[in-house]
Amino acid sequence: MPKKSLVICLFLVLLAIACNKKTDLYKVVGVKDGDTMVLLSPQNLQVTVRLAEIDCPEKSQAFGQAAKQFASDLCFGKMVKLIVNNTDRYGRTVGWIELEDGTSVNKQLIKNGYAWQYRAYSKSMELAMLEQQARQNHLGLWQDENPTPPWNFRKGEREQRTEQKVDKPKKKRTYKKRRRKQRDTVAF
């Protein structure tokens, strides 16, 4: 009997601890662009987060500033939950951000027409459907007849930079002969 009550007490204690455990919440302290945020961790460390499975227009691209503003209006200054997927080649955390009420920032950007599903990194049918609905309703960037996906925009910018480097003529190095001062010559 004592063994049984000990197990029950231990179970109740563990259950109480599990129920009281709060998920770590982060504060959104910066929105770099539509799909990149800066969060402040509970330990007061800044974490740059690239939103997983979506791709917003670049800031210099059509609807880039609108995507950034939408993301900012949605979550800047708010407490959010971070669900980490991995880290990208730039050292950013890649993940999902949810508001305290469970609203997914990633999904809201697609649903409102401010992002594409990043199909190279996402196979989500839900995101595909949200994007299709935004297209059909001509929301956000889907107001344009033929919007350029950000991955194609970035590729075009890279090619343009490469072409500029190739087109730039190389300067020829010229070497000036150094003149030695004659130490022995004295002018009268």
| Topology, domain 22-144 | OB fold (Dihydrolipoamide Acetyltransferase, E2P) (2.40.50)
Share of the chain above pLDDT 90, in %: 69
Q: What is the mean pLDDT of the chain?
A: 85
What pLDDT, on a 0 to 100 scale, did the predictor assign at position 161? 76
Is residue 120 a contact partner of residue 151, using CB atoms and an 8 Å limit? yes
Extents of the domains making up the chain: 22-144
List the single range of 35-49, 58-72, 115-129, 160-174 with lowest mean pLDDT.
160-174
Q: Is 23 left (phi over 0), alpha (psi -120 to 50) or beta?
A: beta
CA dihedral of 81, 86, 91, 97, whole degrees rounded to 10: -20
Give the SS3 label for residue 37: strand
Tokens 């935004």 — which residue? 134
Residue length, the chain? 188
Q: What is the mean predicted confidence (pLDDT) over 161-187?
A: 60
List the single range of 69-73, 79-83, 174-178, 180-184 with lowest mean pLDDT.
180-184
Give the span between the Cα atoms of 106 and 99, in whole angstroms.
11
What pLDDT, on a 0 to 100 scale, did the predictor assign at position 9? 52
In this structure, how many other beta carbons lie within 10 angstroms of the beta carbon of residue 46? 11
Sign of the Cα pseudo-torsion (106, 110, 112, 113, in order): positive
Task: Decide which of 66 and 185 is more confident.
Answer: 66
Active-site residues, by number, are 50, 58, 92
Give the span between the Cα atoms of 47 and 104, in whole angstroms.
18
